Amino acid sequence: MNFFELINKRRSVRKFSDVEVPEVVMKKCLKASILSANSSNLQPWEFYWVKSKEKKKLVVEACFSQNAAKTAKEIVIAVARIDTWKRNRNLIVEEYKKQNKFIPIINNYYNKLIPFVYYHDRLGIAGLIKRIIYVFINIFGYFKPVPRGPIYKHELFETVTKTTALACQNFMMALVAEGFDSCPMEGFDEKRIKKILKLNWKCHVVMIFGIGKADSKGIYGERFRIDDDLVIKEV
């Protein structure tokens, strides 16, 4: 085997068969994504199931792994959002009120700590005051059951992205349980994806999935890795 044959095989990407994914299966797996571990229970993510052929074509063109995306029977896009927390918080509060379970600690968490974290200012007098309050909260244990959350906007963005990644993991596991495979795209043009879905700047596209029944052979032949010793570390 010469060098170029080896590189082609190493680059062999997922190829999907012609087996269609039933709608009931897709909906079931998408619902499974909400089971992701999330300390705030605010579900700061959304999944977009691209059913329009025109939009699917545009999404494929925005993916760097276009050959894999082209063969996928379904395309799903996972988006992290930092602008849905207030809506979700209000829904949770209303639900607790209906069940007469709106105890003080829940009120402290959803109506005091969460807004404090999300509206924390990095600079200025307001930011300084909030930092002082945050220190007192931790010292006096006012919110003992609540783990430390993000303080600054960049921390919040990172937390929301990680939470969405957990939701993606649940989604992929649900697909496997139903006998289907997923191929997360290795790269994509986020600006183009946002434009296609008409998303605002507060969103972050975390993952694009190609979904279907994967063939044993990839587009360029057998799929195998040659760098296990480089990516698997024991520490």
How do residues 196-221 score in pLDDT, each as one tens digit?
999 987 789 999 999 999 877 776 66
Q: Is residue 103 part of a domain?
A: yes
Residues 75, 23: one domain?
yes
In a domain, 178, yes or no: yes
**pLDDT at site 207:** 94
128 and 224 in a single domain? The answer is no
CA dist 19 → 50, 76, 226, 229 (Å): 17, 17, 30, 35
186 vs 79, more confident? 79
Do 54 and 101 have their domain in common? Answer: no
Whether 6 is in a domain gets the answer no
Looking at the structure, tell me whether residues 188 and 131 fall in a common domain: no
pLDDT at 58: 95
CATH number at residue 183: 3.40.109.10
Question: Per the domain annotation, does 107 fall within a domain?
Answer: yes
Residue pLDDT, tens place only, 5-14: 666 555 557 7
Same domain, 214 and 113: no
Q: Are residues 126 and 90 in the same domain?
A: yes
Task: Tell me, yes or no, whether 62 and 89 share the same domain.
Answer: no
Domain, as residue range, for 209: 13-84+164-231
The predicted-structure confidence for 158-176, as pLDDT tens digits, reads as follows 878 888 888 999 999 999 9
Q: How many domains does the chain have?
A: 2
Average pLDDT over residues 71-76: 93
Tell me which DSSP letter residue 189 carries: -
Q: What is the mean pLDDT of the chain?
A: 77
Residues 6+ apart with CB under 8 A from 214: 14, 15, 16, 17, 181, 183
